[in-house]
Structure 1
Amino acid sequence: MLSVDPASPVPPYEQLRGQVVAAVEAGELAPGERLPPVRRLAADLGVAPGTVARTYKELEADGVVETRGRGGTVVAARSGAESEAVEAAAAYAERVRRLGLDGERAVALVRAALGTT
């Protein structure tokens, strides 16, 4: 599933990061699914273990994966983008309550902003 193009101008860790994010967003990697261990994936792809480790570290910082020590690296319950959206929605809901708007009007405003009215 994952591959590295040595001729690409994109660094290998970034190629891997993009592929994992795309697989998570497409549902090809489900929450809780374990990723290959760093050394094994590095050997399979012919890259240095540090390259895979950096990929996993950046994915973890983005909230895409979680590292569970001996349990390995697994796909997080939510992607980083989804986590940010949940936080934004909670902040919006709190703001709407303070402004005294009802839920139906708040949802209508979001639909209008998204262009899905």
Structure 2
Amino acid sequence: MLFRIDPSSTVPLYEQVAASVRRALSERRIAPGDRLPPARELATSLDVNVHTVLRAYATLRDEGVIDLRRRRGAVVTGHADGHARLATLVGELVAESRRVGMDAEELVTIVRRKFS
């Protein structure tokens, strides 16, 4: 299945849905031109509110990962493949830092050191 969520996770559900799409794109399980499921259908299959899926799709649209059109649905553009991969990795990094009790400032400090 393309979409997986963990209701017990501290990561918001819409971010988990968006991360699933980013991951699938980076792993080449979906490609530009592929259609994502309609929001209502996906919400039903994941047992979440349709607005959760719409928020995930809006986030992906803003990142350039998908194109949203009425009557056409969500279509993968693939224009932000590198960005999508980085967003997925950052999401995983943030989740791991929360798991070990690290706050945002500590994480940013570590990242800044890596850039030096």
- TM (norm. structure 1) is 0.66
Unpaired segments ≥5 residues, structure 2: 84-116
* Equivalent residues, number: 82
- 4+ runs deviating over 2 angstroms: none
Q: CA deviation at 1:66?
A: 0.4
Greater relative CO, 1 or 2 (CA 8 Å, sep 6+): 2
C-alpha distance after superposition, 1:64-103 (max 9, x if no partner) = 0001211110101422646xxxxxxxxxxxxxxxxxxxxx
Give the unaligned 5+ runs of structure 1: 83-117
Amino acid at match of 1:3: R
Please state whether the residue corresponding to 1:39 is helix, strand or coil: helix
| SS of aligned partner of 2:64 | coil
Instruction: State the one-letter code of the partner of 1:47.
Output: V
Matched with 1:103 is none
Aligned to 2:34: 33
Q: Among all aligned residue pairs of Structure 1 and Structure 2, give the percentage whose two residues are the same amino acid.
A: 43
Inter-partner Cα distance in structure 2 for 1:75 and 1:50 = 20
Letter in 2 for 1:53: L
Please provide the CA RMSD for this pair: 1.3
